[in-house]
Structure 1
Amino acid sequence: MTSLVAGALLAAPGVAVAADAGAPPQPLVGDLSTWGSPCAAGEGRPFVRAVPNLTARLYGAGDHQPGEASRVSGEFEAWWLDGDGSEERLTFATGMRSDSTPFSWQLPAEIPADTVISWRVRAVDGEVASPWSTEGEGAPCEFVLDRTAPGKPVVTSADYPDNNNWTDGAGVYGTFHVDSPTDDVVSYVYDFQGGPLLRATPSGPEGSADLRYLPPAGGVFMLHVQAQDRAGNLSSPTYYTFRVASGRAPAAHWSLADAAGSRTAAATAGAAARAGIGASFGSPAPSGTALTSTATLDGTGHGFLTPDASVVGAGKTFAAGGWVRPSAVDSVRTIASQDGFGAPEFALGLRQEDGGPVWSFAVNGTRMTGGLPEAGEWAHVLGAYDAETGRARLYVNGRAVGEEEAVTPVAAEGNFQIGRSHGASGYRDRWKGEIGDVRVHDRVVAPAEITRLGSRAAQLRGHWALENAPEGISAEAGGGEPLKLAAGASIFRAGDECDLLDPDCIPGDWPLADEGHLSLDGTAGYAATDKPVVDTDDSFTVSATVRLADNEPAHPMTALSQGGVHGDAFKVRYTPATQSWELVMSHADAPGAAETVVARVEWPDGGQGGGHRLAVVYDDATDRVRLFVDGHADAGGTAEFHDAWESDGGLQVGRGRTADGWGEYLRGAVDQVRVFSGVVPDQDIAGLM
């Protein structure tokens, strides 16, 4: 390091310091940077956490345009005051190079920390140097090297304290106050529970920041936070642990499973609801839910329920919803609302849009719509508003539909209504049909919780293990409809050919599962129930294990089907021409009805191995049908289907309908046939096999 007299100019021997017509132009301050930060001095000087690289853009003599290259060298100079107040200077000269490339100087490691370092640069063209970048209207560039990490941040929260107590909070925002003992902190880097890495800028007078977080569920959570100073140094991490209790119960809840003839709906939470004479109890409940019964509203001026009190607070977060089955979808119908001045503060229900019915959630005139209401079909409908974000969303059957919207919050605390909404001339838009399990929450209901509220568990309707078939009948595990075996169908059991304990026994086949399976001859063999096992107009799941006898079957072969007189509501078959398993669904039980084919290419086992695990899942709520093969459904195995119909024929194993009647007989083995009403979740499909 060289100590020089302040103000002296350095130049290589024989280089003239001049700014005549033949000299390179003076470097511009705007073309200089310190480790990528623009040249600045004073309060705007950058702080860096490592010895930086200085960069400049230089031009040769007579060439002031960046696109035209000349060859020059760069001379850098840096200076600072040491601990004794003496000035220290360093210089560095680059080699000659094209001025179309940046010129840089990596400063040496001995640059002092916590000291203002100034620097400048000039261009040298042969024997002539440009003016320094500091001369005239120029200025020095400055930086400070800061290697000291800030102090570890301190976190406190009155909402979610770091102790062993469980705090009510799932769905309730909390504030976490973060502070650091260091005064040069410019941001806090943090994440909650391993979520996305976020950044907060201090806003408090002492360099503190308040972080907001919404626990989506109950459990033990952790906040990880580090302070970052202006040089980019990160502090040691602070880990703040807090315990969140399960989401608090609804502010109001009516199951509407009251006894027939009751004139009041009991409340699990909140006030009991008065029932109009057009409301009756004891109606059916949606299967696959905890509900035992529901209420029916007749769509007249007397069909309503109300607690004669407000439930949703003005300006507050809320979520309201319930299970409904409309008997009419031809006009505006209200599931739930809260009275306002001349119009409801919010209304949840259905309405007509673009010529068809849609589910609807409106808050102070801003409306969200989506989904397809169907008369006679159950649906869970919920509208949610988050006062923290000012946004609302509609959910149908546990899934978000339509778009999230910014809305004006509820302002009036009028009476809560079930089955009607208040207008300028009185109550209107009355519900017609069943309604049950109406809940109103005064907190955010997380998407996972909404999914649970709006889901119907699949119900096992039939399981045939196909272990035996005395007198040609294979029993259903729960005593339901048996499968009756036709000629050409039999139960194969291990050991039928020889004694498995005999070392010379080499059986020709093994059961697909357990001790036996259904064996079909491919010409006339099948097994069937006398009656339909599942309502194919509603959600259902059907699965089985199937092994083909041939690598190259001679014709298409149906493994599972259920239909009517002319066609199959669904059919799973193997098609040799495309070497694929296909799910076929017809649009009506009529001759020549259109079909939708969902296909996934798979090779048959050809008489060897454990067969393929096939499953069909139809979700009536989303009009989506999927074919799973060995637990997987790729894009080619998923399709929308809007024309499901209820079949009145029995479940068929090993045959399906064709234009000429029964056909597509399967040659091979079938085992472990299961049928469910409802949708078996994707993650549980593999467990069926």
Structure 2
Amino acid sequence: MTGRTGQGRARRVRRARRAAVAAVLAAGTVLATPGTVLAAAGGLPPTQPRTADLATEYSACVSGGERPYVGSVPRLTARLYGPGGGQPGEESKVRGEFEAWWQGEGGVEERVTTTTSTLLDTAPFSWQLPDTIPDETVVSWRVRAVNDAGASAWSSEAPGAPCEFVYDRTHPDAPVVTSSDYPDDNTWTPGAGVRGTFRFAARAEDVVAFAYEFMGEPPHTADVRPDGSAEISFVPKKSGRQVLAVQAQDRAGNRGPRTSYTFLIGEGPAPVARWKLADATGARSAAAENGTAARAGAGVAFGAPAPSGTPLTSTASLDGSGHGFLTPGTPAVVDTAKDFAVGGWVRPARVDGTRTVLSQDAGTGRAFTLGLTQAGSAPAWSFAVGGARVTGGLPETGDWAYVLGQYDAGTGTARLYVNGRAVGEEAAAVPVAGEGAFQIGRARGALGYRDRWQGEIGDVRAYDRIVVPEELTALATRAARRAGHWALDTAPDGLAPETGGGAPVKLGAGASVYRLDHPCDVFDPDCVQDWPLEGDGHLRLDGVSGHAATDAPVVDTSGSFTVSARVRLTDDAPAGPMTAISQGGEHGDAFKVRFDPENSSWDLVLAHADEPGAPETVLRRIEWPDGDIGAGHRVTVVHDASRNQVSFYLDGVKYAEGGTADFDTAWRSTGGLQLGRARTADGWGEHLKGVVDSVYAYEGVLSESEIQRLP
């Protein structure tokens, strides 16, 4: 009897407890203490939050020495889960209870709490702490999940731990900036391309980084060393006034006021060694503008041709034999572990195998080599430093190129430039000491010199600094030479003269030069006259047979050239394509500029070969036809053979989208320059009905600003 009585009493106690809990829940109050979970009949409480699912703003939940410092009052975030622990298909709704505490004045603990609204446990829960959070104080916090069945354990209970942070709203003082290479003392210091070192010193103990930015450059950060300072290097890209702005950043991410450091950059120093190789025919050494004269082997002949459009008057030709070399007998690059660059104008007579333009001895090997090599089945320009090699570009027999190799000690990379443009992928390089002699036309190997150059070399330079972009462009620039200008103002005996006395364009049937010799009164309502586009007249073409042409090619279409003309269409709805200007061969046009009414566009069309039905490259510019009104449009074709690119300008503008295309199938045209017609499958066709004026032709590439200055 006693056992049954005890069992009944226990059942009555359990029923009473369940009733009490139900009453509490019905009243909307959850009673729980840390480590205690209240459960109601028919439900389970949420699971304990994991510290891995908690964050102080964007910092993970940590405590002790790893606690984050924050520069603003943070938002606390958590992932909370119901009884199913966040498993798919077991989602439920919970509330989040957050609590934060710290030691206040006099060691008294202070706490703040909040309870979120009820959300699905798949949602993030957060609490923006109040602004009353103290600074320079360790703040701890925790969270738990609550549902109608009870509350989870706090996240701070085992196996968890409290999260901690320190709110730091004090910004560090401005740092001290110094540089012995580029002092802030209003004096000009050489210069562009010369690496300088700058030192930042903190004025507070909690500074962890410096944010800095040179004018015109992207921002960077530098980590603080144990002594509270940092050092960075900088290579000025141009001469002039430069400003460096630096801010100290503390561990909370606060950045203090800027220190502005101003310095003056002079022109980049001259090459440490230079040989123009424009010495007199029969000379046995090459004079040096800087450095030591270079002894020439018997396989070197001075007086060879120079690249047109450059200041060079002649170059040296190397025959590829064991005697085809030049050397000063001393190094040109004194320290190959620091910044350096070497380059020159070259024209290969052969592009097979490996051929060296410039190198410097390093024992029985070489510190660096610049030249060409075989990349797969094709030749490529090459620059090697230590065991690293950069290749790119396409050397072609008989074509001039400006080739420059550069080692950047700041990034530890080798780079290669061809005709002023970076080619290939820069390569991480570990330089080797190269205290041996500088070589032109050969490279040192274990068994002697090898990889000999065959062809021309001119204007060799060696630098102990970085060659900056403007210099690269200037070194590789070949000025365009005007091959013809036809004003088309007059045509005595059917010949429109070239303004420099060159070959005229001959007018065919249906072509005439219009001159406004006797203008009528513009205020007279009966005055209806054409007006010259440029100068005193222009060429009128009837759209049937009208054309004008030179007897021979004006530009070499296989090389670099620029051709431009001003054109106005007579009709506002042309019946078919009409070509304004072209130059080609027997079956097709190396280039032509035409108006295509189907697309209402001006098109540059280039055939890939002088063959019927050859593939074409087309660059298109949408434009309405003129209808014989206004000044028409200036159309300009530019072929850059050094880059294997073609560009099309309309009224001096080359759009980024569709204004330039790669083109490596250029061919030498044999026909004359044509105004008003093009080659078609049926012979001459696409006759222009309109006017053409002010035609220019250049050997070489005009710059965009030069094109915009054409009338």
After TM superposition, the score normalised by the length of structure 1 is 0.91
- Cα separation, 1, equivalents of 2:307 and 2:521: 50
Indicate the residue corresponding to 1:482 in structure 2: 504
1:164 to partner: Cα distance: 0.7
User: Structure 1 residues 153 and 545 mapped into 2: Cα distance closer, same or farther (>3 Å)?
Assistant: same
User: Structure 1 residues 557 and 102 mapped into 2: Cα distance closer, same or farther (>3 Å)?
Assistant: closer
1:598 is aligned, of 576, 594, 618, to 618
The 3-state SS of whatever aligns with 2:65 is: helix
The answer to whether 1:531 aligns with 2:552 is yes
The 3-state SS of whatever aligns with 1:350 is: strand
Indicate the residue corresponding to 1:242 in structure 2: 263
- Cα separation, 1, equivalents of 2:502 and 2:136: 83
- Cα separation, 2, equivalents of 1:666 and 1:153: 70
- Cα separation, 2, equivalents of 1:677 and 1:601: 24
The 3-state SS of whatever aligns with 1:148 is: coil
Q: Percent identity?
A: 57
Asked if 2 retains the 8 angstrom alpha-carbon contact of 1:15 and 1:127, the reply is: no
Asked if 2 retains the 8 angstrom alpha-carbon contact of 1:188 and 1:202, the reply is: yes
Instruction: Give the letter aligned to residue 19 of structure 1.
Output: T
Asked if 1 retains the 8 angstrom alpha-carbon contact of 2:38 and 2:150, the reply is: no
Instruction: Give the letter aligned to residue 291 of structure 2.
Output: G
1:553 is aligned, of 574, 593, 609, to 574
1:140 is aligned, of 162, 175, 180, to 162
- Cα separation, 1, equivalents of 2:668 and 2:550: 16
Query: Deviation string for 1:550-584 (max 9, x for gaps)?
Result: 23333432211223445433222234445443333
User: Structure 1 residues 559 and 41 mapped into 2: Cα distance closer, same or farther (>3 Å)?
Assistant: same
Asked if 2 retains the 8 angstrom alpha-carbon contact of 1:547 and 1:670, the reply is: yes
1:117 is aligned, of 129, 139, 153, to 139
Asked if 2 retains the 8 angstrom alpha-carbon contact of 1:334 and 1:431, the reply is: yes
CA RMSD, Structure 1 to Structure 2 (Å): 2.7
Indicate the residue corresponding to 1:629 in structure 2: 650
Indicate the residue corresponding to 2:605 in structure 1: 584
Indicate the residue corresponding to 1:426 in structure 2: 448
**Greater displacement, 221-230 / 601-610:** 601-610
The answer to whether 1:517 aligns with 2:538 is yes
1:509 to partner: Cα distance: 2.4
1:387 is aligned, of 404, 409, 417, to 409
- Cα separation, 2, equivalents of 1:55 and 1:326: 67
The answer to whether 1:212 aligns with 2:233 is yes
Asked if 1 retains the 8 angstrom alpha-carbon contact of 2:621 and 2:650, the reply is: no
1:540 to partner: Cα distance: 0.2
- Cα separation, 1, equivalents of 2:158 and 2:359: 73
The answer to whether 1:338 aligns with 2:351 is no
The answer to whether 1:609 aligns with 2:625 is no
The answer to whether 1:657 aligns with 2:674 is no
- Cα separation, 2, equivalents of 1:198 and 1:243: 21
Asked if 2 retains the 8 angstrom alpha-carbon contact of 1:258 and 1:266, the reply is: yes
- Cα separation, 2, equivalents of 1:507 and 1:474: 26
The answer to whether 1:194 aligns with 2:179 is no
Asked if 1 retains the 8 angstrom alpha-carbon contact of 2:32 and 2:38, the reply is: no
- Cα separation, 2, equivalents of 1:165 and 1:441: 24
1:25 to partner: Cα distance: 4.1
User: Structure 1 residues 167 and 13 mapped into 2: Cα distance closer, same or farther (>3 Å)?
Assistant: same
Query: Deviation string for 1:4-32 (max 9, x for gaps)?
Result: xxxxxxxx977243625725444443333
- Cα separation, 1, equivalents of 2:675 and 2:53: 79
Unpaired segments ≥5 residues, structure 1: 1-11
Indicate the residue corresponding to 2:286 in structure 1: 265
Indicate the residue corresponding to 2:7 in structure 1: none
1:464 to partner: Cα distance: 1.8
Instruction: Give the letter aligned to residue 331 of structure 2.
Output: S
Asked if 1 retains the 8 angstrom alpha-carbon contact of 2:274 and 2:291, the reply is: yes
User: Structure 1 residues 486 and 338 mapped into 2: Cα distance closer, same or farther (>3 Å)?
Assistant: same
- Cα separation, 2, equivalents of 1:465 and 1:54: 76
- Cα separation, 1, equivalents of 2:569 and 2:218: 48
Asked if 2 retains the 8 angstrom alpha-carbon contact of 1:598 and 1:626, the reply is: no
User: Structure 1 residues 14 and 628 mapped into 2: Cα distance closer, same or farther (>3 Å)?
Assistant: closer
The answer to whether 1:410 aligns with 2:398 is no
The answer to whether 1:31 aligns with 2:31 is no
Instruction: Give the letter aligned to residue 52 of structure 2.
Output: G
- Cα separation, 2, equivalents of 1:130 and 1:433: 84
- Cα separation, 2, equivalents of 1:577 and 1:39: 66
Indicate the residue corresponding to 2:589 in structure 1: 568
- Cα separation, 1, equivalents of 2:389 and 2:504: 51
The answer to whether 1:320 aligns with 2:336 is no
Q: How many residues align?
A: 675
The answer to whether 1:455 aligns with 2:472 is no
- Cα separation, 2, equivalents of 1:411 and 1:269: 22
Asked if 2 retains the 8 angstrom alpha-carbon contact of 1:495 and 1:507, the reply is: no
- What pairs up with 1:239-318 in 2 under 5 angstroms? 239-313=260-334, 314-318=336-340
Query: Deviation string for 1:230-286 (max 9, x for gaps)?
Result: 222211112111111121111111111122222221111111111222222222211
1:365 to partner: Cα distance: 4.3
Indicate the residue corresponding to 2:31 in structure 1: 15
- Cα separation, 2, equivalents of 1:102 and 1:568: 67
Asked if 2 retains the 8 angstrom alpha-carbon contact of 1:77 and 1:120, the reply is: yes
Indicate the residue corresponding to 1:9 in structure 2: none
- Cα separation, 2, equivalents of 1:252 and 1:416: 10
The answer to whether 1:446 aligns with 2:468 is yes
Asked if 2 retains the 8 angstrom alpha-carbon contact of 1:364 and 1:408, the reply is: yes
User: Structure 1 residues 358 and 82 mapped into 2: Cα distance closer, same or farther (>3 Å)?
Assistant: closer
The 3-state SS of whatever aligns with 2:471 is: helix
The answer to whether 1:227 aligns with 2:248 is yes
User: Structure 1 residues 130 and 487 mapped into 2: Cα distance closer, same or farther (>3 Å)?
Assistant: closer
1:380 to partner: Cα distance: 1.0
Query: Deviation string for 1:316-373 (max 9, x for gaps)?
Result: 3321111111222234322112223333332222234433332222233433222222
Query: Deviation string for 1:464-499 (max 9, x for gaps)?
Result: 222333443333233322333334222223464x42
Instruction: Give the letter aligned to residue 195 of structure 2.
Output: Y
